[in-house]
């Protein structure tokens, strides 16, 4: 069976670990040339590239903080220098911090909105300069747990992900005439390095989520990546402006 992403070039932001790394690896296995973007985790990003090339795929790692316009421009300049075009953009880079309302600060707000929302918009804006007349696909990684199933103490983060869903719908209408599809994936709780770092991977909170999830477990990155392949592929040629919930039935 032919690779679903053969001859495509994909930029995956925040791809040094977690969901982004899983998407990058699966894209490469489906024939795409992949740009593994990272902000600070150079060693981890290079390991993702090594894993891809060892398996016979094509990938490069490019450092860029996608909350910074100059970095974004450099990311796509290096992408086109390496591969000549862009067909797929996965806006996965993000940050999450939880804080009770009385401890929310301007810094807490802007740190998350600058990356999760403004960074996504600016990255998409720059990517458009490198899509060709054939169009392409943009996949935004949102969140069920925080964007829809909002949690106490997550007002700012939840707001950023609700914004991602709104931006997805708006851009799908704006970019449809250019044959560029824009969709979102809204994962439930997924076991990643970030989840462990935040202290949510074990304990009462995880148990609570699992007990409320019809399929009885939290997700793994391998649960998310195939959907990102589908949305980027021709199998989803008539799908745009949608939010795909992957959360074991939790809603």
* Catalytic residue annotation: 157
Helix, strand, coil abundance in the chain, percent, nearest 5: 50, 15, 35
Beta strand spans in the chain (E): 9-12, 33-38, 58-63, 88-91, 136-141, 180-187, 243-246
- At CA 51, angle to CA 47 and CA 53, rounded to 5? 115
Beta strand spans in 28-124 (E): 33-38, 58-63, 88-91
46 near 61, Cβ under 8 Å? yes
Euclidean distance between CA atoms 28 and 155, whole angstroms: 36
Q: Please, what sign has the CA dihedral across residues 108, 110, 115, 118? A: positive
Secondary structure letter of residue 25 according to DSSP: H
12 near 221, Cβ under 8 Å? no
Question: In angstroms, what is the C-alpha Rg of the chain?
Answer: 17
Strand pairing category for 9-12 and 88-91: parallel
Strand pairing category for 180-187 and 136-141: parallel
């Amino acid at each position: 069976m032919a690779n679903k992403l053969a001859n495509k070039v994909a930029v995956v932001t925040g791809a040094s670990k977690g969901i982004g790394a899983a998407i990058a690896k699966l894209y490469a296995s489906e024939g795409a040339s992949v740009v593994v973007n990272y902000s600070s985790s150079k060693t981890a990003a290079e390991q993702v590239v090594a894993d891809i090339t060892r398996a016979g795929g094509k990938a490069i790692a490019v450092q860029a903080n996608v909350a910074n316009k100059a970095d974004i421009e450099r990311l796509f300049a290096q992408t086109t220098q390496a591969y000549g075009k862009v067909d797929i953009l996965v806006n996965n880079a993000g940050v999450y911090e939880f804080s009770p309302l009385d401890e929310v600060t301007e810094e807490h707000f802007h740190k998350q909105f600058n990356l999760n929302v403004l960074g996504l918009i600016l990255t998409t804006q720059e990517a458009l300069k490198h899509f060709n007349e054939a169009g392409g696909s943009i996949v935004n990684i949102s969140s069920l747990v925080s964007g829809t199933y909002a949690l106490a103490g997550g007002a700012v983060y939840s707001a950023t992900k609700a914004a991602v869903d709104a931006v997805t719908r708006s851009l799908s209408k704006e970019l449809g005439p250019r044959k560029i599809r824009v969709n979102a994936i809204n994962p439930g709780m997924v076991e990643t390095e970030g989840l462990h770092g935040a202290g949510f991977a074990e304990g009462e909170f995880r148990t609570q989520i699992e007990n409320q999830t019809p399929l009885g477990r939290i997700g793994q990155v391998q649960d998310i990546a195939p959907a990102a392949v589908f949305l980027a592929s021709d199998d989803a040629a008539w799908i745009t402006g949608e939010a795909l919930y992957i959360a074991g039935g939790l809603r």
